Amino acid sequence: MKRRNALTTAAALAASAAFPGAWAQTGPYPNRPIKMIVPFAAGISPDVVARVIGDKLAQALGQPVVIDNKPGAGGMIGADAAAASPADGYNLFFTVKSVMAIAPHVYTTAKYNPLRDFKAVTQILIVPHVITATPGAPYNNLKELAEYAKRNPGKVDFASLGVGSQPHVAMEAWASRMGIKLNHVPYKSNPSPDVMSGVVSLSLEASTTAIPLIKGSKVKALAISGAERIASLPDVPTLTEYSATLDPNGVIGNSWHGIFVPAGTPDDIIARLNTEIVKIVRMPDVQARLRSLGLTPTGTSSAVLTTAMAADYAYWGQLVRELGVKVE
């Protein structure tokens, strides 16, 4: 019996040597680095926030949190990769409303279904967007933009983070409601440099990255989404100040950032992640940092984000069909 036990132990040790990490997998979670996929390029608003949360989460869990940027196709490339990742708690998806509620309706080739392929961990924040214009643009607010676009049909273009991104579909929706035509220029990376230089006239920029550019006079702010002006940009009017039908309660212009995991991830791991991340969102320094960027920290339960995503998925599906935005 002793000899059999010794042989069994030796075999187990040999297996763990042959497959590094096999032993560690049975230990308490987490016991190795965690990957956080961000479906946008470095420097874009979600990436900025993901790194703030990732650094704090690494401290809380005692393991590195590695940011993995996978931009392109309105966030769909990153979403496909995240959905296909092992559901073991070591693969997180830091994403935004457009990737979970808009892009799947725009891209007929989308491989992922947000309602089927992911479980929510927590919503991090609500983010308004600002319509920004190149400094030399001959308009300073929405009224002047609408008048100029009507006098110069087809001559005003706007940049976005790709077909099916929230900036793309939101600008199309607003242009339709204002009775103007804007030309869409999709980008895979941050379009702000081209807006600053005048290569492109307009962009819809998250407050996170728009505020520094506006305060530095590198772009002009025409309007901001949401029901109220924000403290960081008190002189910038909301879209609803131009027309109450444009963006009631920020339903089109506001976004959210949230963290998801592949659908098979164990509930106890999701609960652990939720607890730690909500603590991080409520930290005074994190709150101050996010609010300085015009963001509203939330830190919700997983159930709240699940409900919000399902509602947004239904709303934007209808809006995308109305606008006829589609990529085959």
In the chain, where are the structural domains located? 33-126+254-323, 129-250
Q: Give pLDDT tens digits for 81-91.
A: 999 999 999 99
Considering the four listed CATH numbers 3.10.28.10, 2.60.40.1180, 3.40.640.10, 3.40.190.150, the one that applies to the domain covering 33-126+254-323 is 3.40.190.150
Answering whether pTM is above 0.85, one says no
Q: Give pLDDT tens digits for 211-224.
A: 999 999 999 999 99
Closest CA to 105 of 317, 312, 315: 317
Residue 193 in tokens: 């440099």
Instruction: Give every residue of the chain whose pLDDT is below 70, as ranges.
Output: 1-26
Residues 93, 112 contacting (CB under 8 angstroms): no
Residues 165, 248 contacting (CB under 8 angstroms): no
pLDDT at 179: 95
How many residues are listed for the chain in this entry? Answer: 328
| Identical fold between 33-126+254-323 and 129-250 | yes
pLDDT at 146: 96
Give the class (CATH, top level) of 129-250: alpha beta
